[in-house]
Amino acid sequence: MSATPLSSIRVVELSHMIMGPSCGMFLAQLGAEVIKVEPPGGDKTRHLTGMGEPFFAMFNRGKRSVTLALDTEGGREALQRLIATADVLVENFRGDTLESMGLDHAALRKRYPRLVIASHKGFLNGPYENRPAMDEVVQMASGLAHMTGPRGRPLRMGSSGNDIMGGLQAAYAVLAALYEREKTGEGATIRIGLFENCLLLVAQHMVQYELSGTRPPPMPEREFSWPVYDIFEAGDGKRIFIGVITGGHWDKLCRLLGLDDLLSDPALATTMARIDGRDRFLPRIGAAVGARDFDTLAQGLETAGIPFAAINEPADMFDDPHVNRPGGLQTSINWNGKPFRVPSPPYEFEGAPHPARGLDVPVLGAATREVLGDLGYEPAEIERLSPEPTR
């Protein structure tokens, strides 16, 4: 199977920030030609700093940048010509903004019946459909922030997980629509809701309440389902998470730590008894872990098949041996020429890592002349449609 099965698909992307761009990036990773349409001054995300600095670089890799002055009649007509060549349109703008650019969905589908439109919104159709939203808003609204922080201190998750997963859901739906188009010849209009995506992330807690009638506590205060599911400190100061899920894990951990007497304790004979008796034995496990250095302990846990993990920060991943396996990281070139490394897609085709080529960040407007030239525009017209930004 080809690692770039979408090589015959053209995507026109009109989006900014993370959710829409991540959809385009996922399609580009599968080989689609993704043309990102930006204003002459560039997508504002290009110019973010601090924690926003990686947004554009991370989620616009593998695309081609075309600049158009969409506030002009000529720019809007050029966009229509471009969409006429596309299989997919990705957008995440408000409806009135789209209409002002002549991009009403019904009109687009009538004009281009094979077009697949992926429309990224805060909410699906319903009472909240016109509300603006962002990742943190929907995490608060859905209960995910409640489940993440201690009681009374709701916290967002430590990444833009909803935006990224929302883009992934969109790409997933686009693939389904393209597959269906092969049979019917008709495109589709897809609406992806950031809030509904977050509902999927908390659905396990919703279903727990539905089945048991009990409101699940925040994860930091959760009722434990396993005897050991905790963070400890090794003798060299490194912290480690250990998860004991099965009876076999319990036996192996006790023997590894020299706590064989726990195995003969009748009060700890069953999994439920061990869960109820956590306060009795966890201090002893903590002391035994603290008597060993991290590397020795990790080797023993791995040999025994017991789930464990070092407590890392994201920056530590660049030194992780598994992340640095062949194909584990890809190097991209940012629009300003600076190289940076990113994790490879989390899948392999036929056992081979996903190819890294073609995943650089586009220089602003780098593809404008070629793309508009292919649409029949002369150089002088292109200069008019894509003017230099005002400084």
Final residue of a structural domain among 291, 313, 335: 313
Residue 128 sits in the same domain as residue 249: no
The answer on pLDDT for 23 being more than 90 is yes
Residue 146 sits in the same domain as residue 16: yes
The answer on pLDDT for 1 being more than 80 is no
CATH classification at residue 330: 3.40.50.10540
Question: What's the pLDDT score for residue 11?
Answer: 98
Q: pLDDT, tens digit, for every residue of 81-96?
A: 999 999 999 999 887 7
Question: What's the pLDDT score for residue 4?
Answer: 84
Task: Report if residue 208 sits inside a domain.
Answer: no
Residue 148 sits in the same domain as residue 266: no
Residue 229 sits in the same domain as residue 191: no
Residue 247 sits in the same domain as residue 279: yes
pTM metric for this prediction: 0.92
Residue 123 sits in the same domain as residue 246: no
Residue 148 sits in the same domain as residue 194: yes
Task: Report if residue 145 sits inside a domain.
Answer: yes
Question: What's the pLDDT score for residue 357?
Answer: 61
Question: What's the pLDDT score for residue 350?
Answer: 84
**SS3 for the chain, per residue?**
CCCCCCCCCEEEEECCCCHHHHHHHHHHHCCCEEEEEECCCCCHHHHCCHHHHHHHHHHCCCEEEEECCCCCHHHHHHHHHHHCCCCEEEECCCHHHHHHCCCCHHHHHHHCCCCEEEEEECCCCCCCCCCCCCHHHHHHHHCHHHHHCCCCCCCCCCCCHHHHHHHHHHHHHHHHHHHHHHHHCCCEEEEEEHHHHHHHHHHHHHHHHHHHCCCCCCHHHCCCCCCEEEEEECCCCCEEEEEECCHHHHHHHHHHCCCHHHHCCHHHCCHHHHHHCHHHHHHHHHHHHHCCCHHHHHHHHHHHCCCEEECCCHHHHHHCCCCCCCCCEEEEECCCCCEEEEECCCCEECCEECCCCCCCCCCCCCCHHHHHHHCCCCHHHHHHHCCCCCC
Residue 182 sits in the same domain as residue 302: no
Across 169-176, average pLDDT: 98
CATH classification at residue 261: 3.30.1540.10
Residue 31 sits in the same domain as residue 115: yes
Residue 234 sits in the same domain as residue 354: no
Task: Report if residue 243 sits inside a domain.
Answer: yes
Q: pLDDT, tens digit, for every residue of 36-53?
A: 999 999 999 999 999 999
Residue 132 sits in the same domain as residue 153: yes
Total structural domains in the chain? 2
Residue 284 lies in domain: 224-313
Task: Report if residue 211 sits inside a domain.
Answer: no
Task: Report if residue 390 sits inside a domain.
Answer: no
The answer on pLDDT for 354 being more than 80 is no
Final residue of a structural domain among 287, 313, 339: 313
Listed in sequence order, the residues at least 6 apart from 355 whose beta carbon sits closer than 8 Å to its beta carbon are 3, 4
The answer on pLDDT for 391 being more than 60 is no
Question: What's the pLDDT score for residue 340?
Answer: 96
How much of the chain exceeds pLDDT 70, in percent? 98
Task: Report if residue 171 sits inside a domain.
Answer: yes
Task: Report if residue 144 sits inside a domain.
Answer: yes
Q: Which two tokens stand for residue 293?
A: 């250095």
Give the pLDDT band (50/70/90) at residue 246.
very high
Nearest to 256 by CA among 228, 275, 225: 228
Question: What's the pLDDT score for residue 63?
Answer: 97
β-bridge mates for residue 117, sequence order? 89, 189
Task: Report if residue 1 sits inside a domain.
Answer: no
Final residue of a structural domain among 313, 344, 371: 313
Q: pLDDT, tens digit, for every residue of 139-167?
A: 999 999 999 999 999 999 999 999 999 99
Listed in sequence order, the residues at least 6 apart from 267 whose beta carbon sits closer than 8 Å to its beta carbon are 273, 277, 280
Residue 182 sits in the same domain as residue 48: yes
